[in-house]
Structure 1
Amino acid sequence: MPQNTNYNDSLLESQAIAYKERLNSWAIARLLPNMQRVIIARFRSRSDADGHLQRLRQLIPDASFVLVFDCQRDEAVI
Protein backbone atom coordinates (compact mmCIF):
# COMPACT_ATOMS: atom_id res chain seq x y z
CA MET A 1 0.00 0.00 0.00
CA PRO A 2 1.52 3.38 -0.94
CA GLN A 3 2.16 5.85 1.82
CA ASN A 4 1.80 9.58 1.61
CA THR A 5 5.29 10.95 2.18
CA ASN A 6 4.54 14.46 0.90
CA TYR A 7 4.85 16.27 4.20
CA ASN A 8 7.30 18.70 5.62
CA ASP A 9 8.98 17.60 8.86
CA SER A 10 9.86 21.14 9.86
CA LEU A 11 6.23 22.23 9.46
CA LEU A 12 5.03 19.40 11.70
CA GLU A 13 7.72 20.20 14.25
CA SER A 14 6.80 23.89 14.33
CA GLN A 15 3.12 23.03 14.73
CA ALA A 16 3.95 20.74 17.64
CA ILE A 17 6.02 23.46 19.32
CA ALA A 18 3.25 26.00 18.73
CA TYR A 19 0.70 23.66 20.33
CA LYS A 20 2.99 23.06 23.30
CA GLU A 21 3.42 26.82 23.81
CA ARG A 22 -0.36 27.31 23.79
CA LEU A 23 -0.79 24.86 26.65
CA ASN A 24 0.88 27.17 29.16
CA SER A 25 -1.37 30.20 29.03
CA TRP A 26 -1.24 31.24 32.68
CA ALA A 27 1.86 33.09 33.82
CA ILE A 28 3.23 34.65 37.00
CA ALA A 29 4.96 37.94 36.37
CA ARG A 30 7.14 39.91 38.76
CA LEU A 31 6.49 43.62 38.53
CA LEU A 32 9.58 45.79 38.31
CA PRO A 33 10.09 49.57 38.37
CA ASN A 34 9.42 51.64 35.22
CA MET A 35 6.42 49.53 34.13
CA GLN A 36 8.57 46.47 33.41
CA ARG A 37 7.71 42.87 34.14
CA VAL A 38 9.50 39.54 34.11
CA ILE A 39 7.68 36.26 33.54
CA ILE A 40 8.68 33.95 36.39
CA ALA A 41 6.81 30.80 35.38
CA ARG A 42 4.05 29.49 33.08
CA PHE A 43 1.28 27.05 33.94
CA ARG A 44 -1.43 25.09 32.19
CA SER A 45 -4.12 25.71 34.78
CA ARG A 46 -5.05 28.72 36.83
CA SER A 47 -5.22 26.71 40.03
CA ASP A 48 -1.58 25.63 39.62
CA ALA A 49 -0.57 29.23 39.00
CA ASP A 50 -2.55 30.44 42.03
CA GLY A 51 -0.82 27.91 44.28
CA HIS A 52 2.63 28.91 43.11
CA LEU A 53 1.74 32.59 43.39
CA GLN A 54 0.72 32.16 47.02
CA ARG A 55 3.98 30.38 47.78
CA LEU A 56 6.05 33.06 46.03
CA ARG A 57 4.31 35.77 48.05
CA GLN A 58 5.19 33.87 51.24
CA LEU A 59 8.82 33.38 50.25
CA ILE A 60 9.42 36.90 48.87
CA PRO A 61 6.95 39.25 50.61
CA ASP A 62 8.68 42.45 49.42
CA ALA A 63 8.26 41.62 45.71
CA SER A 64 5.17 42.37 43.63
CA PHE A 65 3.76 39.46 41.63
CA VAL A 66 0.73 39.27 39.40
CA LEU A 67 -1.08 36.38 37.73
CA VAL A 68 -1.79 36.96 34.04
CA PHE A 69 -3.46 35.11 31.20
CA ASP A 70 -0.95 35.37 28.37
CA CYS A 71 -3.18 35.53 25.30
CA GLN A 72 -0.57 37.21 23.07
CA ARG A 73 1.28 33.92 22.78
CA ASP A 74 -1.85 32.39 21.22
CA GLU A 75 -2.21 35.23 18.73
CA ALA A 76 1.44 35.05 17.70
CA VAL A 77 1.04 31.39 16.74
CA ILE A 78 -1.89 31.93 14.39
Structure 2
Amino acid sequence: MTYANRLHPWAIVRLLPKMQRVVVRRFRNRSNAEGHMQALKRLMPDANFVIVFDLGEPIGEES
Protein backbone atom coordinates (compact mmCIF):
# COMPACT_ATOMS: atom_id res chain seq x y z
CA MET A 1 0.00 0.00 0.00
CA THR A 2 1.37 3.40 -0.92
CA TYR A 3 2.15 6.08 1.64
CA ALA A 4 -0.63 8.30 0.27
CA ASN A 5 -3.17 5.49 0.74
CA ARG A 6 -2.00 4.97 4.32
CA LEU A 7 -2.80 8.61 5.04
CA HIS A 8 -6.37 8.02 3.81
CA PRO A 9 -7.54 4.76 5.45
CA TRP A 10 -11.30 5.38 5.08
CA ALA A 11 -12.69 4.46 1.68
CA ILE A 12 -16.05 4.54 -0.06
CA VAL A 13 -16.55 1.34 -2.03
CA ARG A 14 -19.22 0.85 -4.67
CA LEU A 15 -20.59 -2.69 -4.70
CA LEU A 16 -21.13 -4.09 -8.19
CA PRO A 17 -22.76 -7.30 -9.49
CA LYS A 18 -20.93 -10.65 -9.28
CA MET A 19 -19.08 -9.73 -6.07
CA GLN A 20 -17.10 -6.98 -7.79
CA ARG A 21 -16.27 -3.68 -6.12
CA VAL A 22 -14.52 -0.43 -6.88
CA VAL A 23 -13.00 2.12 -4.51
CA VAL A 24 -14.65 5.44 -5.31
CA ARG A 25 -12.51 7.65 -3.08
CA ARG A 26 -10.35 7.62 0.05
CA PHE A 27 -10.57 9.94 3.06
CA ARG A 28 -8.54 10.79 6.14
CA ASN A 29 -11.51 10.49 8.49
CA ARG A 30 -14.85 8.72 8.58
CA SER A 31 -16.88 11.91 8.91
CA ASN A 32 -15.72 13.17 5.51
CA ALA A 33 -16.43 9.76 3.97
CA GLU A 34 -19.97 9.75 5.38
CA GLY A 35 -20.69 13.22 4.00
CA HIS A 36 -19.41 12.29 0.57
CA MET A 37 -21.39 9.06 0.59
CA GLN A 38 -24.62 10.96 1.33
CA ALA A 39 -24.02 13.08 -1.77
CA LEU A 40 -23.30 9.97 -3.85
CA LYS A 41 -26.54 8.34 -2.67
CA ARG A 42 -28.52 11.42 -3.73
CA LEU A 43 -26.86 11.41 -7.16
CA MET A 44 -27.07 7.63 -7.68
CA PRO A 45 -29.93 6.30 -5.52
CA ASP A 46 -29.85 2.80 -7.06
CA ALA A 47 -26.12 2.24 -6.44
CA ASN A 48 -24.83 0.43 -3.34
CA PHE A 49 -22.00 2.03 -1.36
CA VAL A 50 -20.23 1.09 1.86
CA ILE A 51 -17.59 2.79 3.97
CA VAL A 52 -14.62 0.65 4.96
CA PHE A 53 -11.49 1.15 7.04
CA ASP A 54 -8.72 -0.22 4.81
CA LEU A 55 -5.44 -1.02 6.53
CA GLY A 56 -4.05 -2.37 3.27
CA GLU A 57 -2.32 -5.40 4.71
CA PRO A 58 -3.13 -7.82 7.53
CA ILE A 59 -2.23 -6.68 11.03
CA GLY A 60 1.08 -8.09 12.18
CA GLU A 61 2.70 -8.35 8.76
CA GLU A 62 5.59 -6.05 7.98
CA SER A 63 6.44 -4.92 4.47
TM (norm. structure 1) is 0.68
Structure with the bigger percentage of strand: 2
Q: Report the Cα distance in structure 2 between the residues aligned to 1:77 and 1:58, rounded to whole angstroms.
A: 40
Q: Report the Cα distance in structure 2 between the residues aligned to 1:46 and 1:74, rounded to whole angstroms.
A: 20
1:45 aligns with 2:29: yes
Structure with the bigger percentage of helix: 1
Unaligned runs of 5+ in 2: none
Greater C-alpha radius of gyration: 1
Bigger relative contact order (CA 8 A; separation at least 6):
2
Q: Which segments of structure 1 move beyond 6 Å, counting only runs of 4 or more? A: 74-77
Q: Deviations over 1:28-74 (max 9, x none)?
A: 01000111100000000100000000110011001001111111258
1:23 aligns with 2:7: yes
Between the aligned residues of both structures, percent identity stands at 52
Count of aligned pairs: 61
TM (norm. structure 2) is 0.82
Unaligned runs of 5+ in 1: 1-16
